[in-house]
Amino acid sequence: MSPALRRRVLRDSLTVGATTGAYGVSFGALSAVSGLSVAQTCALSLLLFSGGSQFALVGILGSGGSPAAAVTTSTLLAARNGLYAVRLAPLLRLTGWRRLLGAHIVLDESTAMALAQPRPDAARFAFRVTGVAVFLLWNLMTLLGALGADALGDPRQYGLDAAGPAAFIGLVAPRLRGRDPWLVAGAAAVLAAGVAPFVPAGVPVLVAAGVALAVGLRR
């Protein structure tokens, strides 16, 4: 990997990590408002570390849902990371304890950054830097959000709920070259939006992923 490519990947990875990680303050505040303690909130970010799953879990608990429903929905949403892992495994080539650590930072952002690179070594570097940057900042901001929940108020009023999705779209959009990828992406978005009012949180993401999976299997 050339020094110029390394600098570019480092810059982009840290930018994505900072943008996404900052959204952790929203989770911390929402979790605290939903009734979880600061310790429970931080444990979710440290151990579960899957933003969508974390939001789904505390959202269901905060609205009076059962713990079983919260865990089930959170698990369904986290299943998408397994699909990412299948794609990343031959690229990252992690073994032993490195595979365990790598699995913990398989995220939307780290996956997108890795797959956007022109070389395998750059992909591995982007995956590590993005994953670690998001992990560190997400956990720090989770703590700050939980401690300052009362002062922060509704995190959505600051637009933080759009930071993560916006960063992910910015990473994925350049890879949609040609008509077919755009058609698949459009169909997935329309279907996910259509089922969103009728299914638990997290399921629309799996429905959207199912569209791409179905097209891939058909081919």
Q: How many CB atoms lie within 10 A of CB 166?
A: 14
Kindly state whether residues 191 and 133 are assigned to the same domain: no
Give 192-218 pLDDT, tens digit per residue.
888 888 876 567 777 877 787 788 777
Kindly state whether residues 38 and 125 are assigned to the same domain: yes
What number of CA atoms fall less than 13 Å from residue 161's CA on the CB side? 7
Total domains, the chain: 2
Give 153-192 pLDDT, tens digit per residue.
555 566 555 555 665 566 566 667 777 888 888 888 888 8
DSSP 8-state secondary structure symbol assigned to residue 26: H
Average pLDDT over residues 53-69: 79
SS3 204: helix
Kindly state whether residues 37 and 105 are assigned to the same domain: yes
- pLDDT at position 14: 92
Both tokens of 112, joined, read 């997108």
**CB-based burial label for 147 (10 Å; 0-12, 13-18, 19+):** middle
Q: Which residue has the tokens 């969103």?
A: 196
Average pLDDT over residues 117-132: 93
Kindly state whether residues 113 and 159 are assigned to the same domain: yes
Kindly state whether residues 184 and 93 are assigned to the same domain: no
Asked if residue 128 lies in contact with residue 111, where contact means CB atoms within 8 angstroms, the answer is: no
CA gap 83, 75 in Å, rounded: 14
Kindly state whether residues 157 and 217 are assigned to the same domain: no
pLDDT band at residue 142 under the 50/70/90 scheme? very high
CA gap 99, 81 in Å, rounded: 14
Kindly state whether residues 154 and 198 are assigned to the same domain: no
Q: Which residue has the tokens 């910015």?
A: 170
pLDDT band at residue 130 under the 50/70/90 scheme? very high
Kindly state whether residues 184 and 158 are assigned to the same domain: no
**Residue span of the structural domain in which 69 resides:** 3-175
